[in-house]
Amino acid sequence: MLKTKKIIILLLSSLLFLTGCLEKNILEELGIVTIYGFDLSDEDNMLQATTVLFQFNPDITDASQVIQSKGHTFREVRNNANKKSGYKIVSGQLRTILFGPKISEDGVFPYIDTLERDASISDMVFVAMSKDPTEQVLSATNYEQSPNIGTYIQRLIETAVRDERLISSTLHEFTHKFFAVGQDPLVPIIANLNNKAQLLGLAIFKDDRYVGELTLEDVFYVRLIADEFKSGQVEMELPTKQFEKYLKEYEDLDTETFFVVMDQLYNDVNIELKNPDSLSYKIDIDIKGRIVELSERIDLQKEEAIKLLEQEVSKEVKDKLTTLIDESKELQADYFGFGLEYTTRKRGEEITKDQWHDMYPNINVDINVTTKIRSYGIVE
Amino acid sequence: MHKQLMISKDKQIRAAYLFIVLHTMQVGVGIAGYPRLVFMEARQDSWISIIVTGLILHLVIACMVFVLRTYEKQDLAGILHTIFGSIIGKSIAVIFVIYFYLLFFSVIVNYIEFVQVFIFPQMQSWFIGLLLLSLVWYAVLGGIRVAVGASVVFFLSTIWMMGLLRKPITFIESRHYFPVFDTAISDIFSGVLISSYTFLGFELLWVIFPFINDKKRVNRYSQLAMTFTVLMYLTITMVVIGYFSPTQLEQKVWPLLTLFKVLSFPFFERFDLLAVAIWMIIVLPNLILLGWMVTFTCKRVSDWKQKHCLVALIILTLILVWIFEDREFVNQLTDYTGKIGLGLGFIFPFLLLPFAMRHRMKRKKNHAKN
Amino acid sequence: MRRRSKKTSKQSYFPCEIEKLEKDLKDGFFKSSADFTVKKFEHENKRIFIAFLNYMVEKDQIFKHITEVILQSNTEWDTKALENNIPISGSETRESVKDIGLDMLKGYVAIYIENDDACVTYPVPQLKERQPERAETESLIFGPKISFTESIQTNLNIIHWRLDNPSLVTEKFIIGNEIPSEVRLIYLKDIADDENINEMRNRLNKLQTDDVLESSVLTQYVEDNSYSIFPQLYVTELPDRFCYELKEGKLGVIVDKSSSAIIAPTNFFSFFESTEDLYTRWNMGSFIRLMRLVAMFLSITLTPLYVAALTFHYEIIPTALLVSLGHSRSRVPFPPLLEALILEFLIELIREAGARLPTKVGQTMGIVGGIVVGQAVVQAGFTSNILIIIVALSALASFTVPSYLMGSAIRIIRFPLIIMAGLWGFIGLFYSYAFILIHVLKQKSLKRPYFVPIYPFRPKDIDNSIFRIPFLKSNYRAYSNMPKKIKRFEEPSRQKKEDIDE
């Protein structure tokens, strides 16, 4: 018995060690991709990729490497990229996917889907877009202290998302919105200005196609409905006229509008579908915030002044939102997510994304904004 | 075969362990794919299906405990022998052995698939099988105490992973849960069917019962285990439904593992890779206890030595893993096992109920006579 | 002729002539040993024979209490008179040459008066022993510093002084058929579990060996599974720890000629306890205990994780580390597995060399090895600098374990873990962890479960092993030791809870 046991153990262990032939991914032999830029080439409509990767080398301190390649499919593009590199190109450390203008107008989902199916790629990869060919953006050489342009762009987006200046669009969130009936994705636009990549605005996608864009200032208003603020910040332009009597005496009125900056902003949204058949929505938005900057010296000691300020802010928000919603109706891109509300209320029948896109321009939105200003900094 | 099992004191275990043991038996490879399956049937009302399944589960357990208490000191093979006589009893027991083995095998194959999809596509199936089986062999050799111990320790070393749901919870879109009560009854019922496949594993109670020290508490702890499992499944399913949009969820084969793809720590960028490896620790109690169940019942039916049954089990599994490497086959096998499990796990205890009642009546009469 | 006399001596060897006794002892028993010393003299017409082994006895005592007493008296001596008049206790009356010889080996002096029926032996042993000193291997900052010595007498003395309790039992065993040594099984009869005592007694009784050498050798004779790498019985050189464990209901075994004592049964977590945790405050003690467990975990995790990550799972490396790791790795000519093994081996070398050399040189060794070699190794591109940190950290972590045996076990199982991680990444790593856990679960110490209080799960014992609570609150002994008295002391009467200002 003991002998057979020993033989079994011996056999088992020798078998185990004999099969130690797994494909290894030894760090320094890899070309580790941090960002992919996808374009459609103008001549032959082939997929064209700019791959930014780390290649480690004992002597050169700059490990960054940019490779261009072409192909019909993502695999082919990657294999072609590998023809130009002595390192094995792997995408397990991918941080950002950047889509060029043409490919975005064409639809990005097929590429997103391939990446999503790859188990080695994280779901926290950012999806972004550029209005110039991606090669141009990724060839920017000023990327601050970051090790390469890929990690720099990731940091750029991540910081903005954390500061609530942007709506996050990770791979998961993009697909989530893409698949959801009644919500469309928004994606940051990155551009190369003066040899440095920077945020330009947000691209509006209808399904997976680029249809329009928002400025970074608009993001605040979109977030008011589509997301929430924990401590947001906004700058608003208000007409000076109503505030004339509250202006400090020694001030001369020389501009038509003045600026208010609010921070520590926090919002509470309630979207209600009043009537599913006529598609009328009622949106209640509560904003609470603190004033930190005023471009004119308004006397905030007076309660009426504050009241007026609150009213004006509410009005401004409402106006802005109405324009944005109207614009989005024109584009048929529901990035606010009104459709989600519709699907949760509509019992018994399921609608498709296309159906909703057709219905979307018909919605009526009744917006109701209340603002509360809490305190006004340390000086009164 | 001795119908009565005499278990020496140092082999006995406390009933409280049933809480963990039954729970670990129910949680395994199934949970990674389960939320999608139940969602495909019962949509956002999946929670109703789960709760209904939970209620049925409690009933089944109560029934099993009733039957087992009637024939104290007997396991499934002994009870079947008492009720149906030697030949029929044994053949039913053999069916159970085959069923347990199917469960065992489907767990192994499913885990092998995890590893191949998420970590090592090139790793051969039989090799992963060998790794798992060597551990099963080592643990089952230690007997029931080690099997239970492994399940307790492995449970304690993996339960913290529930806390990892905290991050995905922040991504939840609460509107995915509405409208409530929108699913047809028939769909909810198919959700119940799907759930019942996943909740299998409590059959362990049939075999482990004679080993329990304080049999009075068996019911309490088994029921608690069921509640715990149901709550765990409920939480996970709700998080998954909120996290993915409906169409997206339908495409994810293992939503729970995909969920872990958003986790990253300052010192550990990608948690999902580790999760699949840790899943081995979650799956092992399943395998060890099932391995023990198969070999023990096998021994009871055939009078072979348990050691020999164990060696046979391992060699057979290795060969089968070697032969069947097809994903389609894995899915079919899992479905098939689930269907058998529905009969043998959920319905069978109720079939034994009348026999147990008659047995009790008889015993009472005998008592009265004496 | 001699043979015949031996045959008759079956009944009684004595009376005989002094010369014959001398010859039989010296040439027969002691094989003409040069140390065999005989003194013969006549007193009151009786020839008296005194024999001893030269360096095994206190000659002063023989001179003072035996020779002088015999010579100064005027009466005629016989065996009885010897027993009555010589002021040394512990005399034995021996009737065969073998018995006399064995006694002399233990430092007895043999006195024979010609033509008497028996020979009398007196213990006057001279034992060169070390004074109890500060503990070396298990050094403490707080608490008693005394450690056991090589003499069982001194050790028993220390134990008895610490445990002045009438129920203290010391059972005596003689083990070793070539070199018999005294072994004592020590326990508190009122507290220790009878099953444990019987089990240990049986094992000691059954033990057949030529020589017990040392108490850590004895543990290897009596432990449950000799094939496991984990020690199953605690070997300590600290009397305070030994006595604390006895008081908790465990058994102790001490061996003559050995400066350490055995504690049984022991569970896995006791190897991470130190009596110092008891001497410090409970919260500090708990923190340090938990820290040791974490340290053990880190020690067996860090290097394998590094190897697995760099060989297979580059995805998990955080971006901040990725670049610096990549740079320093690109200089290294070996795969990560080999790199880690080389460095781990180097650390083991430094440790072993430091331990073998005298203390002063050993310290220099540590500095040379640690700083000079470490620096050079990185500069030469032999290993990456992050691995140096990791390996040093895990070596440090393994040294926090109070038990040297357990510390070594942890350091050694690191090697298979590294290899598994290098071959099959996370799968290999978790396979190994699962294997170790199952292995530990299967172990027993004196037939008691080894992994208590985790399995069998005894939540009430956790405060006695994994962390500590204030002494007044923890008035129960650990259940897993099965003590007869479970309560250490009566619960202090609860004070009524008062409102904030009352």
How far is CA B358 from its chain centroid? 30
* B161 in contact with chain C, both atoms CB, cutoff 8 A: no
Q: What angle do CA C301, A10, B153 make, to 5 degrees?
A: 40
Strands (E), chain A: 30-40, 47-55, 64-71, 88-90, 96-99, 126-129, 186-193, 196-206, 209-215, 232-239, 257-275, 280-294, 364-373
pLDDT of res. A275: 83
Cβ pair A323, A317 in contact under 8 A: no
* Count of positions (residues) in chain B: 370
CB contact under 8 A, C454 and B153: yes
CATH number at residue B272: 1.20.1740.10
Put simply, whether A23 touches B (Cβ < 8 Å) is yes
The secondary structure element, H or E, covering residue B53 is helix B46-70
Secondary element (H or E) of residue B39: helix B30-42
pLDDT digits (tens, 9 = 90+) for A233-279: 888 888 877 777 777 665 566 677 888 888 888 888 888 888 888 88
Q: Is residue A368 left, alpha or beta, with left meaning phi > 0 and alpha meaning psi from -120 to 50?
A: beta
Of A22, A25, A34, the CB nearest to C424: A22
Please check whether residue B4 lies inside any domain of the structure: no
Q: Which residues contact C23 (CB under 8 A, 6 or more apart)?
A: none
- Rounded alpha-carbon distances, angstroms, from residue C205 to C179, C218, C266: 16, 13, 21
**Cα distances (angstroms) measured from residue A333 to each of A189, B204, C48:** 17, 54, 123
State the DSSP code for C136: S
* Chain A CA closest to residue B269: A93
Q: What is the pLDDT along chain C (502 residues), one digit of tens a residue?
A: 344 444 444 567 778 888 888 888 888 888 878 888 888 888 888 888 888 888 888 888 888 888 888 888 887 888 888 888 888 888 888 888 888 888 888 888 888 888 888 888 888 888 777 788 888 888 888 888 889 998 898 899 999 998 888 899 999 999 988 888 999 999 999 999 999 999 999 999 999 999 998 999 999 999 999 999 999 999 999 999 999 999 999 999 999 989 999 998 999 999 999 988 999 999 999 999 999 999 999 999 999 999 999 999 999 998 888 888 888 888 888 899 999 999 999 888 888 888 888 877 877 877 787 788 888 888 888 888 889 999 989 999 999 999 999 999 999 999 999 999 998 999 999 999 999 999 999 999 998 999 988 888 888 888 888 888 888 888 888 888 888 888 888 888 877 788 888 7
Q: What is the pTM of this model?
A: 0.91
Which alpha helices (DSSP H) does C268-357 contain, by range? 275-279, 282-311, 319-330, 336-356
| 3-class SS of residue C369 | helix
Q: How far apart are CA C288 and CA C491, in angstroms?
A: 27
Handedness of CA A32, A35, A41, A46 (dihedral sign): positive
Q: What pLDDT was estimated at residue A51?
A: 92
Decide if C92 contacts C120 (C-beta within 8 A).
Answer: yes
d(CA A83, CA C424): 28
Count of alpha carbons within 13 angstroms of residue A16, beta-carbon side: 22
Half-sphere exposure of A198 (CA within 13 A, CB side): 8
Residue with tokens 């885990």: B111
Q: Do C315 and A122 touch (CB under 8 A)?
A: yes
Measured over the CA atoms of residue A258, residue A263, residue A266 and residue A269, the dihedral's sign is: positive
Q: Which two tokens stand for residue A104?
A: 């975005």
Cα–chain center distance at A338: 19
DSSP bridge pairs for A227:
none
A: neighbours with 3+ CB pairs under 8 Å?
Answer: B, C
Q: Is A351 on the interface with B (CB under 8 A)?
A: no
Interface contact A173-B171, CB threshold 8 A? yes
- Nearest CB to A54 within list C312, C322, C425: C322
Residue A25: closest C-alpha in chain C? C312
Phi/psi zone of residue A229: left (φ > 0), alpha (ψ -120 to 50 degrees), beta?
beta
Distance between CA atoms of residues B209 and B65, nearest Å:
9
Kindly determine whether residue B261 and residue A123, on different chains, have CB atoms separated by under 8 Å.
yes
Query: From CA B294, how far away is CA B301, in angstroms rounded?
Result: 11
Residue C390 CA to residue A70 CA, distance in Å, equals: 42
* pLDDT tens, N- to C-terminus, chain B (370 residues): 566 777 888 888 999 999 999 999 999 888 888 999 999 998 889 999 999 999 999 999 999 999 999 888 888 888 898 888 888 999 999 999 999 999 999 999 989 988 988 888 888 888 899 899 999 999 999 999 999 999 999 999 999 999 999 999 988 988 888 888 888 899 999 999 888 888 888 999 999 999 998 888 999 999 999 999 999 999 999 999 999 988 899 988 889 988 888 888 888 888 888 888 999 999 999 999 999 999 999 998 888 899 999 999 999 999 998 888 777 887 888 888 888 888 888 999 999 999 999 988 888 888 887 6
When CB atoms are compared, the residue of C316, C439, C451 closest to B273 is C316
Asked whether the beta carbons of A332 and A353 are under 8 A apart, the reply is no
**Nearest residue on chain A to B118, alpha-carbon basis:** A119
Say if B370 falls within a structural domain.
no
- Are C312 and B120 an interchain contact pair (Cβ–Cβ within 8 Å)? yes
Contact residues, chain B, for C317 at CB < 8 Å: 269
Closest partner CB to A58 (pick from C315, C319, C327):
C327
Contact B61, B205 (CB under 8 A): yes
Mutate to test the interface with B, among A14, A123, A338 (most CBs of B within 10 A): A123
Taking the C-alpha atoms of residue C148 and residue C138, their distance in angstroms, rounded to an integer, is 12
Range of the domain at B41: 9-329+339-363
Question: Which candidate from C315, C318, C441 shows the least CB-CB separation from B273?
Answer: C315
DSSP 8-state secondary structure symbol assigned to residue C54: G
Give the three-state DSSP class for C153. Answer: helix
Whole-number Å distance between alpha carbons of A25 and C326: 13
Chain A residues in contact with B247 by the CB 8 A cut-off are: 179-181
* CA-based radius of gyration for chain C: 30
User: Chain A neighbours among B 195-254 (CB < 8 Å)?
Assistant: 243-248
d(CA A283, CA A368): 6
How many structural domains compose chain B? Answer: 1
Using CA atoms, how far apart are residues C10 and A245, in angstroms rounded to an integer?
134
**Ramachandran area for residue C306 (φ above 0: left; ψ -120 to 50: alpha; else beta):** alpha
pLDDT tens-digit map of B62-110? 999 999 998 888 888 888 988 888 889 999 999 999 999 999 999 999 8
- One-letter amino acid identity for C400? T
Q: pLDDT digit of tens for each residue in chain A (380 aa)?
A: 556 777 777 776 776 666 656 788 888 889 999 999 999 988 888 899 999 988 888 776 677 889 999 998 888 988 999 898 888 999 889 999 999 999 999 889 999 988 888 888 888 899 999 988 998 889 888 888 888 888 899 999 999 998 888 888 999 999 999 998 888 999 999 999 888 899 999 999 988 899 998 998 888 888 888 888 888 888 888 887 777 777 766 556 667 788 888 888 888 888 888 888 888 899 999 998 888 888 777 777 778 888 888 888 899 899 999 999 999 998 888 888 888 888 888 777 778 888 888 888 888 889 999 998 876 665 55
B315, part of any domain: yes
C38 - beta bridge partners?
A: C51
Residues for chain A: how many in total?
A: 380
Contact call for residues B308 and B316 (beta carbons, < 8 A): no
Cα separation, B26 vs C311, in Å, equals 35
